[in-house]
Amino acid sequence: MRRFISIVLILCLILCIEAAETVFAEENSFSLICVGDSLTFGVIPRTPGKRDITYPDTMAKLLGDSYEVLNLGKPGASLTEAGVCFRNRPEYQQSIDAAADMYIIMFGTNDSNLWDLWDEAAFENDLNNMVDTYKEANPDTIIVLIAPPTVLPDEKTGEIKMDKSLLEGTIRDIVKRVSEEKRTIYIDMYAKTVENPEWIGEDGIHFTQEGYTAFGEFVYENIKDFVPTEINSIDEFEIEETHPIVIGCVGDSITFGSGAEKREEDSYPALLQTLLGDGYEVDNFGCSGGTLQAEGDNPYRIRKPFDRSLEAKAQIYIIMLGTNDCKEKNWNPERYEAQWPELLDAYKEGNPDVKFILMTPPHAYIAEGKDSIAFDIHEEYLDEAAEIVTRIGEEYDIPVVDIRLFTEDKPEWFVDGIHPNNEGYKVITQYIYDSILPYVA
């Protein structure tokens, strides 16, 4: 009975709201189509027929007149056939016919309310099919997948009307997994609304007006780097996007792949290449024994891998230098911190748009049968180095991947206490991939 009443209410809501007017993009503009349910449409809590400034409206304002942002949200819509399936609505065919330059997709809230009709495999399959259909309509289109927001108790009844655990776990995981497999842009609106519950209105489901505006601003921040800044020639933009993104991995023997059975296949840069796929070129510029400090026993900046890394002019450099700096004879924390900007500036020269990702050095362990950590490396120095790398990241607004924290209490991942074994490289690379994907997608 509960499911029947909910479905009736959803159908009534659909009938009482006028269908969204479709405006197709004009020539020499960049078109974005937002598909979804009432959260895309812009329903205001307690007033189902009303919408003012929706999240697509906010994006259109921020993007400017050269962009066409179309709102094809349908209140009550689900992704799967078990509910009021969006793919059976005329809006879906309209979105396909438009062959947009970008599709922004957010479903799941109503699917979480299907109780015994919920089908995890069907939801994932239908999301994959929707992405494939839009890519067939426009092979050059950019797809954005949004994990739907959290839900809160209704202020009047205290009831949470949707399955919050399903939204937080399964649906969110599926959206992220499909995004990674299909190489789309992923936006975690669930996490964002957990941080900002004030965005959600009194019914615990729909956004307030301020929430819709903030929602649009958040989506805009996540997509703005993937749309052309000048709408003079969309063709030029598309051609540029076909070039692989070059990522240069800079570091010491841990980057080089020492400890792996087959360095060319099992080092972290090689494994990262496999995870990222053909749209990326991941180059290994690791140098065994390399130190960040020019006064170290083997300065990275006088070695050939450094020269090759400069010549590559990569769009992104992932840098992990510090383990060899933490030898007793090398460690000087003030000097180590002072020379980080010098290294970054070297890559910026002639490559001003370069981006960086820094990584803290991993833990070091005493190998079995030994009395001390190999190579006279000190754990307390590694702690200081990790703090410095984190501080540099904060100072220069550079993301930092905390490998040190990730490898804590994991001596089994290392072949000699310093260099990862094959298992270590595999799990560390997966962690790196998960951490950097928002910055390299």
Domain end position, chosen among 214, 237, 260: 237
> Which is it for the CA torsion 65, 68, 73, 78, positive or negative?
negative
Q: How confident is the model at residue 143 (pLDDT cuts 50, 70, 90)?
A: very high
157/266 same-domain check: no
Q: Which of 23-37, 242-256, 382-396 has the lowest mean pLDDT?
A: 23-37
Give the pLDDT confidence of 78-112 residue by residue, as tens digits.
999 988 899 998 999 999 999 999 999 999 999 99
308/377 same-domain check: yes
Q: What is the pLDDT of residue 248?
A: 97
CATH of the domain at 337: 3.40.50.1110
422/289 same-domain check: yes
Q: What is the pLDDT of residue 75?
A: 86
222/250 same-domain check: no
Whether 4 is in a domain gets the answer no
- Which is more confident, 265 or 10? 265
Q: What is the pLDDT of residue 8?
A: 37
Say if residue 233's pLDDT is above 50.
no
145/222 same-domain check: yes
With contact defined as beta carbons under 8 Å apart, do 285 and 250 qualify? yes
Domain end position, chosen among 222, 237, 252: 237
277/406 same-domain check: yes
With contact defined as beta carbons under 8 Å apart, do 128 and 178 qualify? yes
Rounded CA-CA distance 251/359 in Å is: 10
Domain end position, chosen among 237, 260, 283: 237
Give the pLDDT confidence of 35-81 residue by residue, as tens digits.
999 899 998 875 554 567 899 999 999 998 889 999 999 888 999 99
Listing DSSP states for 59-106 in one string gives HHHHH-TTEEEEEEE-TTEESSTTSEEGGGSHHHHHHHHHT-SEEEEE
50: three-class secondary structure by DSSP: coil
Beta strand 400-401 pairing with 355-359: parallel
Give the pLDDT confidence of 320-363 residue by residue, as tens digits.
999 999 999 999 999 999 999 999 999 999 899 999 999 999 99
| pTM, rounded to two decimals | 0.50
204/312 same-domain check: no
- Say if residue 362 is exposed, middle or buried (CB neighbours under 10 Å; 0-12, 13-18, 19+): buried
* Tally of structural domains, the chain: 2
Q: Kindly state the DSSP code that residue 322 receives in the 8-state scheme.
A: -
38/105 same-domain check: yes
Rounded CA-CA distance 302/197 in Å is: 52
With contact defined as beta carbons under 8 Å apart, do 356 and 316 qualify? yes
Show the domain range for 147.
16-237
345: three-class secondary structure by DSSP: helix
